[in-house]
Structure 1
Amino acid sequence: MKYYIIIFLLITTICFAQKTTLYTIGDSTMANKKDPDKNPEHGWAQVLQPFFKDNVIVENKAVNGRSTKSFINENRWDSIYKKLKRGDYVFIEFGHNDEKIEDSTRYTNPHTLYRYNLIRFVKESREKGAIPILFTSIARRNFNEKGVLVPTHGDYPLETRMVAQEYKVPFIDLEYYTEILEQSYGPEKSKQLHLHFKAGENAYYDKEKADDTHLSLLGAMSIAQIVVNQIKLLEDPSLGKLQKSIK
């Protein structure tokens, strides 16, 4: 009897000790940056780990400059697919580089290849028993002279929304929530969310910097907080484990 009790306790301990991996795939708005202690630029997935308890491990696989097309063609998705296990999560946010119509290695038609690449990520995640979550691209800081935030992503967010609806994928409309974030700061203060420095103002840059796409630490932390807040609100039983792991 003691033998069986010991075996049961060992199995129970192993089951509870098993960690969940949260993979994040996307572009530079999510990606880890070099020299994080010195580099003003951060990806929002780079700062995601502290929002979760120790039973969730964030594996940030987002890479600067990648579109759905180049991410697949460079075998980055295959390397993740091979490691996916039941109960893992996959955060998917692309679009910024899929828009680059002048670059044949990255551009995708939003209504065809971009759409079908998203569907591939969803289907293949589910094949492994993992749970995909789709995100629209974060908004750029693009205020016009009247102080109106003008969208820049064309039909890519629309296709993401449609794939999420059609395939019943947990979905966070990050374009919408980051538009609200940008507008809450306004045309001038929203520079704090991005990379705006005069020449010599920051030691990491030797020239003036005015980048309205990529994120400062404040911007990355703000968006990571939005993501976590929205995960809490999603009514999907497949997210229960992840929701319980939020600090």
Structure 2
Amino acid sequence: MSPRQFLTVLLLACAAHFAVAADPAPTDHKLRVVLVGDSTVAEKSGWGTAFMKLLAPDVECTNAARGGQSTKSFLDSGNWAKALALKPDWVLIQFGHNDQPGKGPNRETDPETTYRANLIRYVDEARAAGAKPVLVTSMVRRTFQPDKQHLRVDLEPYVAAMKKVAEETKVPLVDLHARSHELIEKLGASGVAEAKMEAEAKPPATHDGTHLNEHGGEMIAPLIAGELRKVAPDLAAHLTPAK
């Protein structure tokens, strides 16, 4: 081999080496989504499990919601710290039911002060941990007025406070309260009963109109997915196609 031929082969080998080195290394990283909230999000009583089924295979989702939790107790119990330790890319946050008056000093908050402050803390700490927060307003209770068509409403102050925080902090907002209100009033009391979306109550004769069984979760979860397609397209890109 002549010196010129040798040099040509050497240059081609070097070019091939750098071309391979320039290719990005394959990765098996999945987008991490964490759900945070109370029993209306948690497994076996909320929409979380059904929502996870709507995510594409490239998503790893953990339901960190816990029954009986409020914005206050979820922080005080260390559950929020555990959720952040999962290192999520996105975190969906829904509270309100247990922040209401009558839930006890360890849980209840005031919508204009402590609830608002807690939500801002969730947003700030999620962002500091490298996660993108999404606020989700509380799902309605399925409690009807005597006309059996219109709902009794009691979560509005907490919904309004969350909307204000979302606007001020420029966080995507899923208005599940509005979407679930529309769905439940469209069904009416008789339609809700026929849909059999109620979670098993204890005692069995008690129906609180708040918690969901598997079928109920499958009715509510698409509402969240639909809202995400409007307010968080980057996350919505990792949802399965809408039916």
Native 8 Å contact 1:194 1:211 kept in 2 = no
Report the equivalent of 1:231.
Answer: 228
Deviations 1:54-87 (A, max 9, x none): 11111100000000111000011112223325xx
Q: 1: CA distance between counterparts of 2:196 and 2:128?
A: 37
Q: Residue type of the partner of 1:218?
A: H
Asked whether 1:211 is paired with 2:214, we answer no
Report the equivalent of 1:155.
Answer: 157
RMSD: 2.0
Q: 2: CA distance between counterparts of 1:102 and 1:21?
A: 32
Which structure's CA Rg is the greater one? 2
Report the equivalent of 1:32.
Answer: 43
Deviations 1:182-219 (A, max 9, x none): 0111111213354288xxxxxx9774242301112222
How does the TM-score come out when normalised to structure 2?
0.85
Report the equivalent of 1:108.
Answer: 109
**How big is the shift at 1:231?**
1.0
Report the equivalent of 1:80.
Answer: 83
C-alpha distance 80-196 of structure 1, shift in aligned 2 (>3 A)? closer
Q: 1: CA distance between counterparts of 2:202 and 2:114?
A: 37
**How big is the shift at 1:233?**
1.8
Q: Residue type of the partner of 2:34?
A: Y
Q: Residue type of the partner of 2:80?
A: W
Native 8 Å contact 2:50 2:221 kept in 1 = yes
Report the equivalent of 1:62.
Answer: 65
Native 8 Å contact 2:36 2:83 kept in 1 = no
Native 8 Å contact 2:197 2:213 kept in 1 = yes
Report the equivalent of 1:20.
Answer: 31
Q: Residue type of the partner of 1:233?
A: K
Q: 1: CA distance between counterparts of 2:180 and 2:87?
A: 29
Q: Residue type of the partner of 1:80?
A: A
Secondary structure, counterpart of 1:22 in structure 2: strand
Query: Number of residues paired by the alignment?
Result: 224
Report the equivalent of 1:166.
Answer: 168
Mapping of 1:108-147 within 5 angstroms?
108-146=109-147, 147=149
Native 8 Å contact 1:196 1:209 kept in 2 = no
Deviations 1:207-245 (A, max 9, x none): 4242301112222111111111111122x5xx42x2221
Extract unaligned runs of 5+ from structure 2.
1-13
Native 8 Å contact 1:193 1:217 kept in 2 = no
Report the equivalent of 1:221.
Answer: 218
How does the TM-score come out when normalised to structure 1?
0.84
Q: Residue type of the partner of 1:90?
A: V
Identity %: 31
Extract unaligned runs of 5+ from structure 1.
34-41, 198-203
Secondary structure, counterpart of 2:98 in structure 1: coil
Native 8 Å contact 1:31 1:44 kept in 2 = yes
